[in-house]
Amino acid sequence: MPIDLANVTFHVEDGCLVMSAVARGGKPYRHACPLESFTAVAQELDAAGNDGITREQVHKRTGIPWTRINVAITFLFERSIVERTGRRGRLYVPASSSIVEDALTEYHALREKGPPG
């Protein structure tokens, strides 16, 4: 089930992309994705091109933990760098001609913005 982006925020902390959200029961949670993992996910999405790729395929190819993949893809989707398509929106395709460049631009812009507050 896709995450409700209305309840999600992102910031960069200690070199990690951090996603904060509120679960259905009202309990807040956070997950982090180090820059190295974030970049690897963006590279996999870029390499897949218009054929698209699933989270499962990214995990199988990289061995990156699921929560890191989810943080990275949710951020890229929220920033309109990738789109969901296919059966039940499980396939991710580029919405941008340069996924890695756009992903890193958004990451560093968020890092420069500083912590929430």
Residue range 96-108, pLDDT digits in tens: 889 999 999 999 9
Which residue segment(s) compose the domain that 88 sits in?
Answer: 5-113
Distance CA 80, CA 83 (A): 7
Domain count, the chain: 1
pLDDT for the residue numbered 4? 63
Residue 65 sits in a domain whose CATH number is 1.10.10.10
Strand ranges, E, within the chain: 8-13, 16-22, 28-34, 82-85, 91-94
Residue range 18-61, pLDDT digits in tens: 999 887 778 889 999 999 999 999 999 999 999 999 999 999 99
Residue 7 near residue 21 (C-beta atoms within 8 A):
yes
pLDDT for the residue numbered 1? 43
117 pLDDT tier (thresholds 50, 70, 90): low
Residue 39 near residue 56 (C-beta atoms within 8 A):
no
Collapsing DSSP to helix, strand or coil, 31 comes out as strand
Distance CA 82, CA 46 (A): 10
